[in-house]
Structure 1
């Protein structure tokens, strides 16, 4: 049981770190880079990213962060070490907020962007961009912050686990 607790905690920390890094990367490089381009480029690139990101590696990180953190919580409940359990529960709660934000903001915006059709055929690309870019980037920045804080809580749980509390 100790091995399962430790492995789930490590896997949760790694996968949460991967997702945090993904959201951070978009916040500090992809979206600022796209901000300096024209409307059709933003639409076309984001449409292509939205297709490319749906792959096994993304799913491993995105779903894995939830599954491994939830498993770590479940495995630590019977142990009763509050020093480990409390930061695990906080990390899981933060990630549930991230997943909710993703499903309520980012995914619907991605879907609307896809429904707009090929960038070259959009009559008013500036309007499509306005409807997408700022709300998507704002929600993504929050996802980056919340995931980073969750990684911090998972790191805290690891330290507490190592200390035996």
Structure 2
């Protein structure tokens, strides 16, 4: 167990970094680029991204890291007296709340609403405007929490 936890922590740090990097790109330029498109084109592009993102690789990075964090929460609590346990617990909790939970509670429902709207309608324009503000705000949360979790995992290893 003493060698397993550091190895799992390294994997969690990498997973958090990968996920944070993807969300960082969306927060910093992908969504801004989509917002510059005509509304129907922006909606179509985002809907296409939402379909194509469901790959084994990205789902493993996002949700696999979340499952790994659940193991690390247990390891941190059971090994509370060990050096770095606080950082391990903090990183794992921050990642689980800020990424899988925020994704499922906020970003996915916004994606579903976007997929259900007629892109050429006035309602489509309203849903797209809401999507751009709300989805991006929650994506900022995912970006920051993934990066903070990665930093916590690194501190836990130090």
For the criterion TM > 0.5, the same-fold answer is: yes
Q: Secondary structure at the match of 2:115?
A: helix
Runs of 4 or more, structure 1, over 4 Å off, are none
* Larger deviation, residues 31-40 vs 122-131: 122-131
Distance 1:146 1:79 in 2: 24
User: Structure 1 residue 31: deviation in Å?
Assistant: 0.8
User: Structure 1 residue 82: deviation in Å?
Assistant: 4.5
User: Structure 1 residue 83: deviation in Å?
Assistant: 3.2
TM-score of the aligned structures, taking structure 2 as reference length: 0.90
User: Structure 1 residue 75: deviation in Å?
Assistant: 3.0
Distance 2:79 2:105 in 1: 35
Bigger-Rg structure (1/2): 1
1:65 aligned to 2:65?
yes
- For the Cα contact (< 8 Å) 2:76–2:86, is it kept in 1? no
Distance 1:40 1:69 in 2: 38
Q: How many residues align?
A: 156
Distance 1:142 1:108 in 2: 16
- 1:86 maps to 86
Q: Any unmatched runs of 5+ in structure 1?
A: 160-165
Distance 2:61 2:20 in 1: 10
How much is the aligned-residue C-alpha RMSD, in angstroms?
A: 1.6
**1:29-87 Cα deviation digits (max 9, x unpaired):** 21111122111111001100100011101111011221222223323444334431111
Matching of residues 96-115 of structure 1 within 5 Å: 96-98=96-98, 99-115=100-116
TM-score of the aligned structures, taking structure 1 as reference length: 0.86
User: Structure 1 residue 157: deviation in Å?
Assistant: 0.7
Distance 2:137 2:20 in 1: 15
